Amino acid sequence: MNQNPEQIARDKIDQMLHKAGWLVQSKKKVNRSAGIGVALRETKTESGSADYILFVNLRAVGIIEAKKETEGHRLTVVEEQSVRYATDAIKIGKFKLESEKPFVYESTGTLTHFTDYRDPKPRSRRVFSFHTPETIAEWIKKGRSLRNRLLSMPQLDETGLRPAQIVAINNLEQSFKNNRSRALIQMATGAGKTFTAATFVYRLLKHANAKRILFLVDTKNLGEQAEQEFMTFFNPMMTIENSQSYTMSNG
């Protein structure tokens, strides 16, 4: 069957959505309660027709703007259009749904960009697939985005840390608060780089509610050393928190 480039892109996007666990529906046959995640094609909004509206647990939470593959280099150009649909009310039959839809994608079926508009300074990034409905449901349950939670990280307890470690951790956290997604820490041999990393990982997990953190090394020996360092990691605040927890649980 001959298809135009737009139809080819939508077919690829449909396949990607199915693999990610979404139920793809047309506007002629809508059943938002058919599953956790429903992707509704060609849905009317106040300013036009969105290619896909994403529903999680009956609630509209995101949109996908589809473009033909030859327009992959222009995905950032259409972000303004995507944001407009994300803030518009949705029209389904006689019903008008008002809802915030912060999770926005632009996709050709080959190249996909994603923006979380709950971030303090939203910006798109390339992703390899659409997020699953369960992932988005978890994000909604947490409320604020990770970048937003980074802004409220508490002050570092400097007990037991060397001056170089204190500077490294504080500067790294400030870098993330300034919305810089990449940072480089340079420390001399023996300055405690692994302990510095373990401290920041602990703070991310404890105070920013991070879910997964990748610690990558280039040799097996370094990996084993890092594993031992993480296994024996101790932070003074851990003792205080455990003590408070024990006191509360025992009245």
pLDDT for position 74: 65
* Angstrom distance (rounded) from CA 134 to CA 141: 10
Given 111, 140, 169, the domain boundary residue is 140
pLDDT digit string, tens, across residues 179-238: 888 899 999 988 999 999 999 999 999 999 998 899 999 999 999 989 998 888 876 555
List, in order, residues 6 or more apart from 147 with CB less than 8 Å away: 116, 119, 120, 121, 176, 179
Residues 106 and 48 in one domain: yes
CB 68 within 8 A of CB 9: yes
pTM tops 0.85, yes or no: no
Residues 164 and 230 in one domain: yes
Q: Which two tokens stand for residue 241?
A: 């928190």
pLDDT for position 248: 39
Reported confidence tier of residue 246, pLDDT bands at 50, 70, 90 = very low
pLDDT digit string, tens, across residues 50-109: 999 999 999 999 999 998 877 666 677 677 778 888 888 887 766 666 777 999 999 999
pLDDT for position 1: 53
Residues 134 and 46 in one domain: yes
Residues 27 and 135 in one domain: yes
Residue 45 CB: number of other CB atoms within 10 A? 21
